[in-house]
């Protein structure tokens, strides 16, 4: 028998930013854009195995570890699902002065509470930021934190999805234009890896190797980086200076455990 209930906890990665809902109409002015994402894709596959699956996704874009632990983890514990995915820390790591050791202690306490429910728990390392402007400068901070996550997974008997080693995610064709969120293909690869880690049938091409493409010259590369800084990184810095977040005022897209019919597209 497969899992009968699944709760996803996290930030924009788990909410699914960058992976549009199939056939979704354009949002009205001021309307929040909703996404599919790897967690929905995993839930859809679980539902094809266990039709009575109930699924909740508590993730909200822009959230920090403290917010996720305070707002989402207690709800997940209360729901007592069979399966919980927990991914947090990406938004903390890119902030100046973040301490990966202190972050890891908060993650460990949250994972302890989640595992105490009897649920299987899935944890994640992040991807290697060495190809990303700005973030490559704090690569060591990322590496330390994700080594802690690996240790926490071992300590509490959690499943671990190691995205650092996924070469398919090293290619920008798996990412949205903001270079912070995966696109549809990136989310599909992560979902395939999660299913593989859980030992469930599914697509097994998460080891994807992209076909070669024409090399980008240094001048064009600099132009791309400048455009990214102007259109994506600059606005992110602006929100930090204003003390705002892309997730301010947003509610989770699936706040309660409820049935999810499998997608066929």
Q: Which residue has the higher pLDDT, 63 or 222?
A: 63
**Of the candidates 70, 51, 81, which has an alpha carbon nearest to the alpha carbon of residue 109?**
70
Q: What is the pLDDT of residue 126?
A: 96
Give the separation between CA 193 and CA 123, rounded to whole angstroms: 12
Cut 0.85: pTM above it? yes
Judged by DSSP in three states, 205 sits in coil
Tens of pLDDT, residues 135-180: 788 999 999 999 999 999 999 999 999 999 999 999 889 999 888 8
Tens of pLDDT, residues 83-113: 999 999 999 998 889 999 999 999 999 999 9
CB 81 within 8 A of CB 73: no
Spell out the domains of the chain, with CATH numbers in brackets: 5-216 (3.40.50.1110)
Give the separation between CA 75 and CA 7, rounded to whole angstroms: 9
Q: How many CB atoms lie within 10 A of CB 112?
A: 13
């Amino acid at each position: 028998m497969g899992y009968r209930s699944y709760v996803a906890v996290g930030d924009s990665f788990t909410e699914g930013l960058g992976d549009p809902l199939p056939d979704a109409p354009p949002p009205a002015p001021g309307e929040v854009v909703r996404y599919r994402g790897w967690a929905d894709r995993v839930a859809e596959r679980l539902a094809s195995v266990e039709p009575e699956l109930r699924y909740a996704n508590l993730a909200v874009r822009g959230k920090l570890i403290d917010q996720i632990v305070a707002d989402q983890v207690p709800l997940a514990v209360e729901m007592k699902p069979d399966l919980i995915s927990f991914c947090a820390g990406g938004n903390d790591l890119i902030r100046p002065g973040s301490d990966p050791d202190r972050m890891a202690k908060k993650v460990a306490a949250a994972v302890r509470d989640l595992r105490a429910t009897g649920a299987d728990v899935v944890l994640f390392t992040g991807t290697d930021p060495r190809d990303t402007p700005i973030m490559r400068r704090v690569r060591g901070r990322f590496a330390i934190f994700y080594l802690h996550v690996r240790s926490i997974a071992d300590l509490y008997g959690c499943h671990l999805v190691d995205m650092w080693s996924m070469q398919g995610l090293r290619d920008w064709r798996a990412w949205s234009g903001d270079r912070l969120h995966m696109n549809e293909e990136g989310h599909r690869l992560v979902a395939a890896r999660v299913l593989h880690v859980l030992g469930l049938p599914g697509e097994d091409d998460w080891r994807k190797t992209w076909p070669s493409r024409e090399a980008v010259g240094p001048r064009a590369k600099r132009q791309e980086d400048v455009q990214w800084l102007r259109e994506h990184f600059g606005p992110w810095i602006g929100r930090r200076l204003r003390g705002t977040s892309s997730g301010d005022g947003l509610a989770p897209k699936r706040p309660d455990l409820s049935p999810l019919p499998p997608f066929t597209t």
